Structure 1
Amino acid sequence: MRTICRELSKHYLVDIEDEALVAGLGLHIRNLVVRASAGRPVSNPLAAQIKQAHPLVHELAIYFAQHVELAFDVPVSEDEISFIALHIGGCLERQRERMDQTSVALVVPKYYRMHEDQSKALAMSLGDRARVVATYTSADQDWSRVDADLIITPIEIPHLHPARQVVVSPLLTQHDLDTIHGAVQAARRRSSWLRAVHQLRQLVDRELFFSGGPWRERDEVITHLVAAMQAQGVVGDAFLGQVLEREAMSPTSFSKGLAVPHAMTMDAHRSAIAAYISEAPIAWGGSEVKLVLLVAFNADERRLFREVFDQMIVTLSESSRVQRLATPGTDYETFIADLMDLMDA
């Protein structure tokens, strides 16, 4: 388990070399091998939901499952992959809470020890979700020079963007703390979306956009999109086989009309996304899709995979959004504008 976690960490640039995770996976994989050897499959009613709502975690679980198959010579089903995803997802969520913190500055009058007490109370309430980086006893500051994501203040600060300040009562009631928690969550979500939107502009090439083409079969679509990437110098000759191998592990289709084929290796010459809008539904792993986004990532840009992959799938988790992008005859400019608009929503 430690070896597989180490390989997964290096491959996807995530830190899951966690002893609690190793122990939990060790117990689970031992039982998985017993079940697989005895031909007694197990059902996971959350399998489809995990794949839809947490695509990156599901992808990590597939990589893990592939190594389990090689190590123990047993098949790992889609349901078992989802159980592995629960273990990995729990570890990443704990890690994210510790590392992806919002910085907060507190404005509170200097009256006896009130500023110290409120700063401690706020820090205790926020826990790992945010950190208090400064406490000010006056709102008379050059806030453009204050390095904090949010300013918690009892009085509204002129010329400070409303999204950056949270106006609370002077005594920090429980209602105020609830409001602050909501603002912290919104700040984290906003920061994540902005990064993904900026990166998508670099990834989706005009030369890799196709609308209303003649391709109607899954492998035919993948073959032509890979060929387009090769023509642009994005990937090498082995990429097509790698994408098809990944499909054999678990279909990359989503029930909302979207498919996101990709390889399990990150050896593209550069990161890019090829898009195909089909006029007719394409049969894909038990689903029908009309929008295909072939994704290729370079190892030196693994952070793009972590930040863009999840955001892109979550953005397109609603069928109405996929339908908006997959309108037949849509040109490149309209597609990019709509995608950016959805990412900003």
Structure 2
Amino acid sequence: DLKLIRSKNHIHLEGSEDEMRKLYKDLLTEETQGNFLNLNKLSSMFKGFDLLKVKDIMENILKEYNYRIREMAIPMLMIHIGVAIERMLHHNYIKTSRGTDLENTKEYQIAKEFFNRVSKIVRIDINENEVELLALLLMGKNSMNLQNDLVSAYSKHGYNVNELVSQIIESIKSDYDIDFSKDVDLRSGIALHLQGLVERKNKNIHIDNMYLQELKKKYPLVFELSIRVGEILNEELGIDISENELGFLALHLGAAYERTHNHQHYKAIMIYPVDQAFGDILLKKVDFLFNERMDVIQSVSYFEEKTIKELDPDLILTTSPLQHNLDIPTVQISVFITTEDESRIFQTLNALDKKRFQNEFKAQIIDLIEPETFHLNLKTETPEETIEYMCDHLKNLGYSDDAFKKSVLQREKMASTSFVYSFAVPHSLNVASFRSSISVAFLEKPIKWGEFEVKMVMLLAINEVYKDTLVMFFDWLSSMINNANHFVALLESQSYEEFISKIIE
């Protein structure tokens, strides 16, 4: 619903803010997909050393110290390490006075050992400040208690670094409808980065960004996010942020966006004789056919349960018959990938999609169905009376107002919201509730609702924050309608607990 406007010197889009944001998010998802979480692609940005070998060194040290970090945090960690080594290769060292007491922490010991080993394969001098920075990054949010907060000295409103990061995340959500609020890796990464940024500004130290132009060219929308962050920093700290610094911020934001929206790709393990000539051909064909839905994260010659568990794949592809006790879908394929092989892989990916949808449905929908908005044996005679009762109940809870009820009734007059199988889904035309909720009512007696007799009513009261949930809800509804037996069982629910149990089966 956007209109393209052409003038003499430029073109632009006109339309609703909602549609603008949808377009932006679609473009951003397409742009970042598989790039910021793909270590091979990240590695290609660093020309002076092999980031994948550096990653292997870090993983070996983490195992030796029995130190675990979240898998999704690894790309962000490697971005920091890559930037650090690139800086050190060009003799860009920073002397700071953090005043931290890190030497007795496990994170410091890991960071120190890491740079000791890296210095043997990359020509860098070990720098104490880089060791401390890496240790603080490994500590994540806990590191904020151990370092001086330089941000508060610059902030016009007395923000500390955590408050400023929260403002940045809230601004991105407000301006672009992208929610990073639950991304702890982004929070700790940007907080640490801001401390370094302020130190560099304080001491007038300039750092080149070797891949700035590539970021601007290939990921303009991610860079646009970083520009917005730069504007906030300028407003709050009075600091002009250079493009080089914006490029570093863009790396954090790109990885965060992909973590938030990385729903399509599954992780696969390939088991085949890796020393045989056809191996590369097989891998390339699998990547060509399925790169939009899965990534082969590791190729091995044989199955070993411990190794597979550590890799934690979503599925296993094997060229030989394989039986195991792990709860991981396994598909046997030929070395030449026949159409039958393609079909089996697609069926497995579709099954994984269904399982993932169920998990997301539980996380997003179930929380909206609360005991206080669940009505059993409701005595009403007409659709209007039912809607008024349920809307008034939401109003009394502080979830909505009279305007919401009026809009729901107006929508019902336009066309009945009842469906086959004895249920109705009334909802507002365009008036949002104050708080999102799905109110459920089981009627004492079925009532005539449009063309159908209705026994169960699900009133949708969704505000702007949960608008994407509507798509998921109607996807679920569609699948339920196509599964008559399951839906009939749902209609027989005798309590809130039984209803919730059946709805997530």
TM-score by length of structure 2 reads 0.46
Closer, same or farther in 2 for the Cα pair 1:179/1:294, shift >3 Å? same
Residues 303-335 of structure 1 deviation map (CA, whole Å, 9 limit, x = unaligned): 3222233213422444444432333x8222222
Q: Provide the residue aligned with 2:294 in structure 1.
A: 131
Report which of the two structures shows the higher radius of gyration computed on alpha carbons: 2
Task: After TM superposition, list the pairs within 5 Å mapping 1:328-339 onto structure 2.
Answer: 330-339=494-503
| CA distance in 1 between partners of 2:435 and 2:23 (Å) | 17
* Distance in 2 (alpha carbons) for counterparts of 1:250 and 1:10: 29
2:402 to 211, 234, 237: 237
Q: How does 1:28-39 map to 2 (within 5 A)?
A: none
* Bigger relative CO (Cα 8 Å, ≥ 6 apart): 1
**Residue 361 of structure 2: SS of its match in structure 1?**
helix
Q: Provide the C-alpha distance between the structure 2 equivalents of 1:300 and 1:269, rounded to a whole number of angstroms.
A: 10
What's the CA shift for 1:214?
Answer: 1.4
Determine the C-alpha separation between the residues in 2 that align with 1:254 and 1:101: 35
- The CA RMSD measured in Å over matched residues stands at 3.1
Structure 2 CA distance for partners of 1:5 and 1:309, relative to 1, 3 Å: farther
**Residues 262 and 295 of structure 1 are in contact (CA less than 8 Å); yes or no, is this contact kept in structure 2?**
yes
More off after superposition, 279-288 vs 293-302: 279-288
Q: Are the counterparts in 1 of residues 282 and 335 from structure 2 also a CA contact under 8 Å?
A: no
Distance apart, 1:337 and its partner CA: 2.1
Residue 209, structure 1, aligned to residue 374, structure 2: yes
Q: Give secondary structure in 2 for the equivalent of 1:267.
A: coil
Percentage identity across aligned positions?
24
User: What letter matches 2:299 in structure 1?
Assistant: Y
**Structure 1 contact 108–114 (Cα < 8 Å) conserved:** no
Distance 1:147 1:229, change over 3 A: same
Give secondary structure in 2 for the equivalent of 1:216: coil
Verify: 1:117 aligned to 2:281, yes or no: yes
User: Which residues in structure 2 correspond to 1:1-345 (within 5 Å)?
Assistant: 1-3=1-3, 6=16, 9=19, 100-126=264-290, 128=292, 130-138=293-301, 139-140=303-304, 142-146=307-311, 148-153=313-318, 154-156=320-322, 158-161=324-327, 163-265=328-430, 267-327=432-492, 330-340=494-504, 344=505
Q: Over residues 16-63 of structure 1, what are the superposed CA-to-partner deviations in whole Å (9 max), with x where a residue is unaligned? A: 79xxxxxxxxxxxxxxxxxxxxxxxxxxxxxxxxxxxxxxxxxxxxxx
Residues 149 and 318 from structure 1, CA distance in 2 versus in 1: closer, same or farther, beyond 3 angstroms?
closer
Indicate the SS of the match to 2:494: coil
**2:480, 2:487 within 8 Å by CA — same for their partners in 1?**
no
**Cα offset, 1:232, TM superposition:** 1.9
The structure with the greater share of residues assigned to strand is: 1
Partner-residue secondary structure (3-state), 1:224: helix
Report if the CA contact (8 A) 1:152-1:165 is conserved.
yes
TM-score for both structures, normalised by structure 1: 0.65
Aligned partner of 2:246 in structure 1 is: none
8 Å CA contact 1:5, 1:16 repeated in 2: no
Q: Check 1:13–1:321 CA distance in 2 against 1; reply closer, same or farther (3 A cut).
A: farther
Q: Secondary structure at the match of 2:275?
A: coil
1:259 to partner: Cα distance? 0.7
Structure 1 pair 310/168, CA: closer, same or farther in 2 (3 Å)? same
Contact 1:105-1:152 at 8 Å conserved across structures: yes
